[in-house]
Amino acid sequence: MNEVFRPEFLYGMLSILPAAVWAFALVGWMITDEIGSVEGWTGIGAVVGLVVVAFTTKIELLSLGACIGLWVAGVLYPLIRLGMINRANLQIDVEIMESAYRQLDEKNNDIGAKVQLARVLYKRGAHATAIGLLAEAVQSGPEGMDQEARTLRIWQSLHGESPKGRKIRCLRCGGLTPANERYCRKCTGPVLIYEAGGLNVLRTAPLKMFYVWLITVSLVILAPGFAVALPFPVAAACILALVLLAVLLMHRTARGAVGQG
């Protein structure tokens, strides 16, 4: 076959663009401290490894796999980016709610804190819970809560009233808690923060896609690539290192330590 038309060459060329996008993204995340340097450099190593495999392997399927692996990364990149932005916004809302929780822990009838909680819940789409909380705040609050009363009427006209004795299901443990209480009756977690989506912040969701990608390409493409290209002892050592790295990353992801650098 003609040198220029080797399929590996084509797959290699097609790999360069997503590889560049992905490598720049990883460097950026390391600079902004969104991923640790271990994860960042491992990711860049995987990108370089995939490009090398795509260009050099004698096995067409492996070359194609490396190319696809990089394009998957290119598609994942905007999704992960979006996930990070959403998470940052959610983080801000969770901090507002945590501060309201602290105020209410000190003073159980802190109207301002209740209004604050209701506003965040409403914004996050937990309309019924927000309406119930705001109704409670307006009823028990002093005169002159005209603005809050007006907001409440608008919310109620859009979504209906929140029925008395309504219960919410804890998103962490599944237990039921009256909607006017702040802590889950079963697991004692801050149930309103979970209701507003705050559980996602605690679980560091978006970067998991990156780790799943990294572990998958390491085991499915890079390890066989090493096995084909390198003499046995070197290949075995490289594959062992890859597996150890994958285990380390899974462990760090499971602990939720990622993103703290």
List residues binding Zn ion (CB under 5 A).
170, 172-173, 175, 184, 186-187, 189
Q: Residue 86 CB, nearest distance to Zn ion (Å)?
A: 23
Q: Residue 103 CB, nearest distance to Zn ion (Å)?
A: 22
Give whichever of 111 and 171 is closer to Zn ion, judged by the CB atom.
171
- 196 within 8 A of 29, measured Cβ to Cβ: no
Q: Residue 83 CB, nearest distance to Zn ion (Å)?
A: 25
Q: Residue 176 CB, nearest distance to Zn ion (Å)?
A: 9
Residue 61 to residue 80: CA distance in whole angstroms: 28
Give whichever of 70 and 170 is closer to Zn ion, judged by the CB atom.
170
Give whichever of 30 and 168 is closer to Zn ion, judged by the CB atom.
168
- What does the DSSP 8-state code read for residue 32? T
Alpha carbon dihedral 155, 156, 162, 164, in 10-degree steps, equals: 130
Give whichever of 17 and 176 is closer to Zn ion, judged by the CB atom.
176
Q: Residue 173 CB, nearest distance to Zn ion (Å)?
A: 3
Nearest Cα neighbor of 129 from 161, 94, 157 is 161
Give whichever of 40 and 198 is closer to Zn ion, judged by the CB atom.
198
Number of helical (H) and strand (E) elements in the chain, helices listed first = 11, 2
Give whichever of 33 and 105 is closer to Zn ion, judged by the CB atom.
105
- What does the DSSP 8-state code read for residue 222? I
The helix or strand, by DSSP H or E, that contains position 11, with its residue range, turns out to be helix 7-31
3 state DSSP class of 201: helix
Q: Residue 24 CB, nearest distance to Zn ion (Å)?
A: 41
**Strand residue runs (E) in the chain:** 167-169, 176-178
Give whichever of 127 and 186 is closer to Zn ion, judged by the CB atom.
186
Amino acid in position 41:
W
- 46 within 8 A of 214, measured Cβ to Cβ: yes
Amino acid in position 178:
P
Q: Residue 195 CB, nearest distance to Zn ion (Å)?
A: 11
CA contacts within 13 A on the Cβ side of 39: 29
Residues 6+ away with beta carbon under 8 Å from 1: none
